[in-house]
Structure 1
Amino acid sequence: MKKRYTYIFFLFGIFVLANAMQLLSSCNGNKAEGVAIDSLIAHADSVVSVDTSKMPGGKYGAAVKYGRELMLHTAYYIGPDGINGHYTGNKMNCTNCHRDAGARPYAFNLVRAFRDYPQYRAREGRILSLAERINNCVMRPNLGRPLPLDSKEMISIMAYLKFLSDSTQIDAKTKGLKNMLVELPDHAASPENGEKLYIEHCQRCHAANGEGKMRFDQVTYKYPPVWGLLAYRPGSSMHRVVKLAQWLKGNMPYDKTTPGKPFLTDAEALDIAAFVNDDKIHKRPAAKTTKEEDYPNHEEKAIDYDKGPFKDPFSEQQHKYGPYKPIIDYWEGKGITPAI
């Protein structure tokens, strides 16, 4: 009886081994399809993530690591008192908006940046290279001057963005590549209510005057400014109420929000964004040149961009604070998907 069971188990083992070999053979026979299927299974409905411990070595790896350092400590390296150059005009860091050096979900995530550029940008009305888009950030929210295209800093930032792209597996269902969506109400966002919410949730870090808190060594900010002459300027993505609200929902307050689990409601995020971006009560730095024109093709303007002229019947006030649904309905009625 014992020998009989041993023989049965032996036959079962051969059967399992044969099926396993057949499966491996079929995977190797169509390797690309197998990888794609594995990727979909492993990453479907997942949140984007980056393992920075797997950075490459050698000279290329050194550029990648320096690029990440530039993202995290922009002011230290290339700020007004930077040790490697003076390119940015304030002491903010790239990671203030692109949190965790662009790796954090729902925080202007940069994992796709190297793949997505060159890209047509409605704000500029033309196709931008990745280097131009990087300089766009250096000049607008960081109030700086362009990095030379062949500089160590530009090449290192691009190397880091390539690392982000190469080291992550993402697909259409991967979460966190874009900021969180906010439900747009039927009424305008309220700067008045936003002020109350700012005092309750934001003032402890960004200060009553909105100008943030400097780090002890004065090199950069512990908490960056949200308005004032050293904050981001008009025309920056953060200066749009809906865009800022999407970011706030996914990231603030920093100690009460985790990726994908917001603390603020959609309406609260919109009201805080309306207060922070209220140019009637808060000063902001002006553009360095009067020749700059955002959205030269007026029909391509984002719905929350508040400077005319517009190719729709809505006022600057409504474009800035809403209600946004009538603007959306107007453009969809013309067969155009409005930018949000």
Structure 2
Amino acid sequence: MNFPKGISTIVDILKMLLALISLLVLFLIVISVNPDLLVKKAKDTGPWKPKSVLTDLEGEPKAALIKFGFELITKTPQLIGPMSSNPNKQFAGNNLTCQNCHLEAGTKPGSGSFVGVFNRFPQFSGRENRMGTLEQRVDGCMQRSMNGQPLPKNSLEMKAIIAYIKWLSENVPEEEEAKYKGYAKVKLPEVAADPLLGKLTFEKHCVVCHGDNGQGQRPSENALYIYPPLWGKDTYNHGAGMHRVITAAEFIKGNMPYLQATWDNPVLSDEEAYHVAAYINSFDRPLKSNPEADFPEKHLKPVSTPYGPWTDDFTAEQHKYGPFQPIMKFYNEKYGIKKSK
């Protein structure tokens, strides 16, 4: 009496096995067509952001070198500047850190960010009239913004800085790399930048951090600046890019007042940034040696370079403060070069 029931049970089991085999075959076919389905998708962590040495070095083969590069960027005068205990390591000539210009250790957009920079080298440099390496660009900063001397070739310090910049430049989405490149755009007023107007903006927005004498704030002479000096003996020299009014205005617009302005949501107007850049750069600062050697092809010199020689008849005053549009027009008409700085 139970025999037919047993046969029925076996048939049901065979049907289930055939169904499972069919599903397995279907799964194998799908996976063979799209093997990425087996790869675990990364958890959605929100908008893309640059890597951080505090959270993203785990498993990185060059973690120690990258972290040292980060420390050089954030503790520059203590490691390779006047505060270094080793006189042979005092390559920087002032007590600025690299991140006084490259804010947030080079990860803030609109402040000369390092994000994506490694991918753009080698590149042509008009200042040297040659294809330049990233190492040469770093040395340019050392000689100008840091008012010092180049790092020794193949030094651990140079390797660490390059490793850090390379790490920040890896796997950056194309649209993000474009966002992090350069500074905020400034529509230049068609008048000369006026230091007296700039002083009004400085007193309103800048004094609280940089002081009315522009010398910044730090707890003691043996400590890092909380806010850096903007002129005087302990800041960038006159050969630095930040000494050009247009470049300074772009940096200021996208970043100042600090922790308030961003490249896409500035506090200052174009006019305010333009004039306060003139005020900051109207004061004395260290002089770079041999500036006349810059830009061997003088017609490639930025119009706002405040030191000669130039291949035009505009005054030194106009090259420093503008108005810059007539100078730009001259180079466009004579050399076919459209200049924006």
Letter in 1 for 2:314: F
1:206–1:212 contact (8 Å) kept in structure 2 = yes
The Cα of 1:169 is off from its aligned counterpart by 2.0
Task: Describe the shift of the 1:185–1:60 C-alpha distance in structure 2 as closer, same or farther (beyond 3 A).
Answer: same
1:161 aligns with 2:162: no
2:183–2:263 contact (8 Å) kept in structure 1 = no
Unaligned runs of 5+ in 2: 1-22, 37-43
Write the distance in 2 (CA, Å) between the matches of 1:148 and 1:310.
Answer: 32
2:321 maps to 321
- Of 122, 128, 134, 1:130 maps to 134
SS of 2:91's partner is: coil
Number of aligned pairs?
A: 303
Identity %: 36
The Cα of 1:136 is off from its aligned counterpart by 1.2
Task: After TM superposition, list the pairs within 5 Å mapping 1:187-202 onto structure 2.
Answer: 187-202=191-206
2:123–2:132 contact (8 Å) kept in structure 1 = yes
Task: Describe the shift of the 1:326–1:57 C-alpha distance in structure 2 as closer, same or farther (beyond 3 A).
Answer: same
Write the distance in 2 (CA, Å) between the matches of 1:133 and 1:193.
Answer: 34
2:84 maps to 82
- Of 100, 109, 121, 2:104 maps to 100
Letter in 2 for 1:163: W
The Cα of 1:259 is off from its aligned counterpart by 4.3
Unaligned runs of 5+ in 1: 1-13, 29-41
SS of 2:294's partner is: coil
Task: After TM superposition, list the pairs within 5 Å mapping 1:267-278 onto structure 2.
Answer: 267-278=271-282
1:75–1:219 contact (8 Å) kept in structure 2 = no
1:286 aligns with 2:287: yes
Write the distance in 2 (CA, Å) between the matches of 1:67 and 1:153.
Answer: 7
2:16 maps to none
SS of 1:214's partner is: coil
The Cα of 1:57 is off from its aligned counterpart by 3.7
Q: How large is the RMSD of aligned CA atoms in angstroms?
A: 2.7
Letter in 1 for 2:328: I
Write the distance in 1 (CA, Å) between the matches of 2:176 and 2:67.
Answer: 28
Q: Which digits, 9 at most, give the CA deviation of each residue in 1:135-183, with x for residues without a partner?
A: 1111211122221122111100010011011142224883231100100
The Cα of 1:216 is off from its aligned counterpart by 4.5
1:234 aligns with 2:235: no
SS of 1:193's partner is: helix
1:300–1:339 contact (8 Å) kept in structure 2 = no
2:182 maps to 178
TM-score (norm 1): 0.81
The Cα of 1:197 is off from its aligned counterpart by 1.1
Task: Describe the shift of the 1:244–1:61 C-alpha distance in structure 2 as closer, same or farther (beyond 3 A).
Answer: same
2:311 maps to 311
Write the distance in 1 (CA, Å) between the matches of 2:60 and 2:264.
Answer: 36
